Amino acid sequence: MTLRDAAVGQSVKVVKLTGEGAVKRRIMDMGITKGAEISIRKVAPLGDPIEVTVRGYELSLRKADAEMIEVQ
């Protein structure tokens, strides 16, 4: 399951990041690393962006970036 598939209000744990290069670095710079807890706060009507809470910070992720984050 990817972060994009998670439902609003659900808390998930990051299992793996599948992106490469600059995209993966940008995701990791946001504090999204293996083992991090992510809470889904809101998803825009068309699915982009996805607003999440990670380590106490509220972030917006693009739909394409959310697909690179595998969660459980």
- Whichever domain contains 27, its CATH number is 2.30.30.90
Strands in the chain per DSSP E: 11-17, 37-43, 50-54, 57-61, 69-71
pLDDT, residue 21, reads 87
Structural domain count, the chain? 1
pTM of the model: 0.84
5: left (phi over 0), alpha (psi -120 to 50) or beta: alpha
Report the C-alpha gap between 25 and 47 in whole angstroms: 23
pLDDT, residue 13, reads 95
The residue segments making up the domain with residue 67 are: 3-71
β-pair partners for 28? none
Q: What is the mean pLDDT of each run of 10 residues along the chain (72 residues)?
A: 90 91 89 92 86 92 90 92
